Structure 1
Amino acid sequence: MEENKIENSKTTIRTPIIVGTTLVVGILIGATFFGGRRAGSDVSRSSTKFKEILTYINRSYVDSVDTDSLVDYSITKMLEKLDPHTYYFPPEEASIARSQLESGFDGIGIEFNVFNDTVYVVTPLAGGPSESVGIQSGDAIIKANNKSLTGKESNSTNIFANLRGKRGSEAKLEIKRRGFKDLLKFTVVRDKIPQYSIDAAYLMEDKKTAYIKINRFTETTYVEFKQHLSALQTQGMKQLMLDLRGNPGGYMDRATDIVDELVGGNDVIVYTDGKDSRNNRKTFAGKDGMFEKGSVIVLVDEGSASASEIVSGALQDYDRALIVGRRTFGKGLVQQPIQLSDGSELRLTISRYYIPSGRSIQKPYTKGHLDNYEHELEDRSKSGEYFIADSIKNNPKMRFKTKGGRVVYGGGGVTPDVFVPRDTSHITKYLLELYGKNVIREYALNYANDNRKTLEKQTFNSFLKNFEVSEPMLEKVKQLANSAEIMFNATDYNLSKAFIKLQIKASIARHIWQRNVKNGLNNEFYQIIYEQDPIVATAMKQFGKAEKLR
């Protein structure tokens, strides 16, 4: 598709990064900020004015002032005049944000849960430093290096600050363990803890459908994908269900590499266009992919953004995959991460990206007026879009065609080929409070630890078919909820009961069978939890339609 055939208007073709400590980075390519002598002169004049004001404040303002915080605030407010995805991370947040997409971070190697203002070890990661010194599931971490992690101090910022640290450094932990009167003391030497971006990869019950769930696109995603796809092919997979729901994106090249494993030919997968021509590039297919022939279905929802939309949109444009679910987020801007001298980081939007049909999927926004953009997902809910397919309002001016001639739309995410509404029938205030205070996870952890020997005697398949969450078990969940000051509501409980049982069973399976897994997969949890998933159930019935796309 030639660049001069782009039909999108200038106000609808910019793209995003989803911010926060769990989200996404754009392409790592070089960029310059300002071109030409005049622009440089303007910047110099403006920065001089800012420096003058800051100097006067620091020297003469009536009260003491933290000038660093003023600068950070000024930068944040300045960037609000740009697009929704240019973002500034102060030094203390930048390293955490970067670690989400790197192949690992330095720490003590545990998964933890906060319950009743106490940090509990859900599981020490297999082969990690905590496991090697004997820390166990259910241990409560009371102190780390003499600093309390309980009560008001059991917040995520304090927990990460005290448990993570440079490789080789020591974390001296004081732990409360059931059955021991006194606190136990452990010295854990921090090490690199691997992070995985693929949550599940297994053959479904029909023994021919491979299910792969990618939670974000990190440094290792492509390598993980190839490893798991190869293993599933060995097991006899014939068709692929790729789950990108809730995936906020990440590295663009990892996304395009995965597309290239699924499509044939040598056409463009994605191209970028920005003010500086050095940020413009085209990425083509071309390699002999691992799975270019079998049917593919991609699951998406409103949480699928950026690199996820490149994968789903490109496969849709190629007529290579059927897209099932709900309309995606609508992020089509590329960010360059720029580390600043003090350790902070600027994520600067440097270009827009376009998928094979020539469409941009960036949803509209107005510079300097981002409130509507930030509430756009909420507006979808109010308009009924999450429940009725006809409520999706595509812009008729953003009409494009796939390689096979199907009509698709740009300017607002990827619209699925098969719509599946949200199922909110089980969502109640009581359930949300159980989640909010981690009651279900805490009960499942305790049950798994108390019954580990019995549970480990059976296979997972036996557990999957035969294990039932009993009424006495549910009564104990209610008691635990009561101790967490959650008021019981019979109506809410009955509406959520089946889902609560499913969550308990899946969480118990996770504690029993995942603890020795070294590749990050959580297959047992997802095999149970998706037994009642409407999008998965719908997708399983659509492979015949997906086959006809080829």
Structure 2
Amino acid sequence: MKKNVKKIAFFIVLIASVTLVAFNRPGDKYFEIAKNIDIFASLFKEVNAYYVDEVNPNQVMKKGIDAMLESLDPYTNYIPEDEIEDFRTMTTGQYGGIGAVIGKRNERPIILMPYEGFPAHKAGLMVGDEIVSVDGIEVTSKATSDISKLLKGQSNTQVKVVVKRLGVPEKFEVVLTREKIKIDNVPYYGMVNNNTGYIKLSDFTSNASKEVKKALVELKEKGAKNIILDLRDNPGGLLSEAINISNLFIPKDKEIVRTKGKIAEWNKIYNALNAPVDTEMPLVVLTSSRSASASEIVSGVIQDYDRGILIGERTYGKGLVQATRPLTYNSQLKITTAKYYTPSGRCIQAIDYSHRNEDGSVGKIPDSLRVAFKTKNGRTVYDGGGISPDIEVGDRTIAPITSSLISKGLLFDYAGVYVLDHKKIKGAKEYEMSDAEYQDFIKWLANKEYDYSTKVENTLEDLVNFSKKEKYYDAIKPQVESLKAQISHNKEKDLMTFKDEIKEYLEEEIVSRFYLQKGVVEASFDDDEDVTAAIRIFNNPVEYNKLLQGK
């Protein structure tokens, strides 16, 4: 081992020395590069030779590379050979496995959602099933990522999973045959009402534009007169897919996006190359603070051409383009090569990584420094800080009791209990928990732990602490104690005060057991503030057109 490490160090020094000779020209920046490579190699040689413990060259080098790239931006990354498969999954949406989302609930590895039509679903595995072991390996104490690696593998290979299910006294084994799993970019599309179609786009991996086009065409055939394109929480992906999706709504030959970087030859203007599917149908794009990159390209294009209305939250603000470069030993470098600009000319990158504070931190561009641009109809839009929606709907705040029930996994767990007594329920859109069923849920909660503090209680506690420090507490103690008694939360009371909100989240959990991912989307329509706002603007064509005209 030690000899191998010394050989590696020797070859690094040799390469650096050759490089130093090749680029040692006065005023040439490559001299500085070669000099520092030489220093780095020499340093590693000394560390390897004299450090008190054995040094793992792969780990040390990986840490050094990661630290170097981290000083640039979060999107420039080194991808070693053993992580290439995960990277391909991210860009293609494909992998070999059983087709299920897994996660932890109360420290137990649980199937959170089986993908319809794939091995886990076909084998009868359900939301809430606990994974005990994979191919004889106990997984209860393992991290979710490690369990995922055990479940993944080549297509047509088998994996044995031991499962524990609520209501089934004994653990049981399921033998699954892995398949090539293709995660849909469009997990759901359908009709919200008689004239409004809805398309949920969750990723921009390969074929995303084909999936959106298929959904759009079918919804029009079903009678859709308006379309909601949901890009909330979509982290982005392939630039080509963002261009093609924008082209579905924008006329051929119109500019979609342009990129500008250090290498002038790589700068490019991307235009719509195909005939659009529809340029007239009223369109709403839903955005959130986690809509990023390719999501922002599509949102920016729709806004810049006044093709539709944006509803929701200001987007994340990632205006950087990445490309992959091959490295030796089957590794790759994902590197930021350019910034992108929407048709109006704005770059919506929120953070300037080239200018860091003394401590190395970076900050967002302040609103006061954002530059104004104009849309096709003359509306004012801004760069530097994401895409601002035309109708802002703030992030929803839920009651402390609801938050506690969710975080403790109690709504998730009760949905499993509910399924034991109910073999079927109404359709996802129609299902509603009855008052009697909600009372059953309250009874089930009786011996469960879900304590919480309200913001008012926390504020009062701060008041007590400050008053004690400043010697005022004795004077105000009677009033404080009286106020404490008045605002002290009562679980039973809160369960009724926030009944509608708790029922909403509980109903979605129950629907997920019967109708999986598509059912969860449909069940949320009635309570989704962004969708409600979209339908409201569709029902008011005059207001819709006024917004697009900037009036």
Matching residue of 1:463: 431
> Which residue in the other structure is 1:246 paired with?
233
Aligned residue in 1 for 2:439:
472
Who is 1:31 aligned against? Answer: none
Deviation at 1:427, TM superposition (A): 4.1
1:399 is matched with 372
Deviates most, 411-420 or 161-170: 161-170
Quick one: which of 436, 444, 455 aligns to 2:407?
436
- 1:338 deviates by 3.5
Deviations, residues 129-183 of structure 1 (Å, cap 9, x unaligned): 2344454555332111221121x32x21221121112223332222234565543
Deviation string, structure 1 residues 423-460 (Cα, Å, up to 9, x no partner) = 31x242x43343334332232234235412x42xx444
Residues 1:262 and 1:394: Cα distance change in structure 2 (over 3 Å): farther
| Contiguous gaps of at least 5 residues in structure 2 | 1-22, 454-488
- What does 1:193-208 align with in structure 2 at a 5 Å threshold? 193-205=181-193, 207-208=194-195
What does residue 413 of structure 1 align with?
Answer: 386
Aligned to 1:369, what secondary structure does the other structure show?
Answer: coil
Give 1:232 shift.
0.5
Equivalent in the alignment of 1:503: 505
CA contact (8 A) 2:78 2:334 kept: yes
Partner of 1:82: 72
Moved more, 278-287 or 176-185: 176-185
Contact 1:297 1:546 in 2 (8 A): no
Structure 2 contact 97–155 (Cα < 8 Å) conserved:
yes
Whether the 8 Å CA contact 1:259–1:269 is kept in 2: the answer is: yes
Note if 1:448 corresponds to 2:419: yes
> What amino acid is aligned across from residue 190 of structure 2 in structure 1?
Y
Does the CA contact (< 8 Å) of 1:244 and 1:298 recur in 2? yes
1:356-414: per-residue Cα shift (whole Å, max 9, x none)? 011111124243737897775xx9xxxxxxxxxxxx93535x11111111111112211
Residue 322 (structure 2) pairs with residue 335 (structure 1):
yes
Query: Secondary structure of 1:463's partner?
Result: coil
DSSP-derived class of the 2:248 partner: helix
Task: Please tell me the residue identity of whatever aligns with 1:169.
Answer: T
Alpha-carbon distance, 1:123 to partner: 5.2
What displacement does 1:80 show? 2.9
Q: Which has the larger radius of gyration?
A: 2
Spell out, residue by residue over 1:107-141, the C-alpha distance to the aligned partner (whole angstroms, 9 max, x if none).
12234353332223355433322344454555332
Name which of 129, 135, 148 aligns with 1:145. Answer: 135
- Three-state SS of the structure 1 residue aligned to 2:229 is strand
Equivalent position amino acid for 1:202 in 2: G
- Match for residue 51 of structure 1? 41
> Would the aligned equivalents of 1:113 and 1:442 in 2 still touch at CA under 8 Å?
no
What amino acid is aligned across from residue 67 of structure 1 in structure 2?
P
Is 1:311 the counterpart of 2:284? The answer is no
Which residue of structure 2 aligns with residue 228 of structure 1? 215
Is the contact made by 2:129 and 2:166 (CA closer than 8 Å) also made in structure 1?
yes
Question: What is the aligned length?
Answer: 484
Give 2:519's match in structure 1, choosing from 502, 518, 524: 524
User: Quick check: 2:111–2:131 contact (8 Å CA) kept in 1?
Assistant: yes
The answer (yes or no) to whether the contact 1:124–1:136 under 8 Å persists in 2 is yes
Question: Compared with structure 1, are the counterparts of its residues 208 and 467 closer, same or farther at alpha carbon in structure 2 (3 Å cutoff)?
Answer: farther
Render the CA deviation track for 1:219-252: whole Å, top value 9, x for unaligned: 1311211111111111101111111121111111
Report the CA distance shift for 1:130/1:213 in structure 2 as closer, same or farther (over 3 A).
closer
Give the secondary structure class of the aligned counterpart of 1:542: helix
Compared CA separation, residues 357 and 169, structure 1 to 2 (3 A): same
Instruction: Indicate conservation of the 8 Å contact 2:98/2:177, yes or no.
Output: yes
Instruction: Check whether the contact 1:444–1:504 (CA below 8 A) recurs between aligned residues.
Output: yes
Change (3 A) 1:324 1:110: closer
Distance of aligned partners of 1:468 and 1:259 in 2 relative to their CA distance in 1, 3 Å threshold = farther
Could you give the per-residue CA deviations for residues 180-237 of structure 1, whole angstroms, max 9, x where no partner exists? 55432233222212201223312112x1111112122111311211111111111101
Please report how far the alpha carbon of residue 290 of structure 1 lies from its aligned counterpart in structure 2 after TM superposition. Answer: 1.0
1:339 deviates by 5.0
User: Does structure 1 retain, via aligned residues, the 8 Å contact 2:94–2:180?
Assistant: yes
> Aligned pair in 2 of structure 1 residues 209, 477: CA closer, same or farther (>3 Å)?
farther
Give the counterpart letter for 1:336 in structure 2: A
CA distance, structure 2, for counterparts of residue 501 and residue 36 of structure 1: 71
1:187 to 172, 175, 180: 175
Listed one character per residue, the Cα deviations across residues 41-73 of structure 1 (whole Å, up to 9, x for unaligned) are 543332232122112211221222222222122
Contact kept, 8 Å, 1:199 with 1:523, in 2: the verdict is yes
Match of 1:512 among 497, 511, 514: 514
Mean Cα deviation higher: 113-122 or 534-543: 113-122
Counterpart amino acid of 2:279? E
1:160 paired residue number:
148
Letter in 1 for 2:33: V
Structure 1's 305 and 138: CA in aligned 2 closer, same or farther, altered over 3 A?
closer
- Give the TM-score normalised by structure 2: 0.79
Counterpart residue number, 2:108: 118
1:485-507 Cα shifts (integer Å, max 9, x gaps): 98996276556542221112122
- In structure 2, distance between residues paired with 1:353 and 1:444: 45
- Counterpart CA distance in 2 for 1:63 and 1:368 is 38
Secondary structure at 2:78 match in 1: strand
Q: Distance in 2 between matches of 1:74 and 1:469?
A: 60
Q: Secondary structure at the match of 1:240?
A: strand
Per the alignment, do residues 359 and 125 of structure 1 end up closer, same or farther by CA in structure 2, a change over 3 Å counting?
closer
The answer to which of 217-226 and 63-72 deviates more is: 63-72
Alpha-carbon distance change, 321 to 218 in structure 1, aligned in 2, over 3 angstroms: same
2:284 to 297, 300, 313: 297
Counterpart selection for 1:325 from 277, 302, 312: 312
The superposition leaves residues 497-543 of structure 1 with CA deviations (integer Å, 9 ceiling, x where unpaired) of 422211121222232123xxxxxxx4432232232222222222223
Aligned equivalent of 2:60: 70
Identical aligned pairs, as a percentage? Answer: 30
Matched position secondary structure for 2:180: strand
- The 8 Å contact of residues 95 and 180 in structure 2, kept in 1 or not, is answered as yes
In structure 1, the residue matched to 2:536 is 541
Q: Which runs of 5+ in 1 are unaligned?
A: 1-34, 380-391, 515-521
User: Separation in 1 of the partners of 2:221 and 2:383?
Assistant: 38
Letter in 2 for 1:264: P
Q: Distance in 2 between matches of 1:469 and 1:196?
A: 38
Using structure 1 for the length normalisation, give the TM-score.
0.79
2:266 is equivalent to residue 279 of structure 1: yes
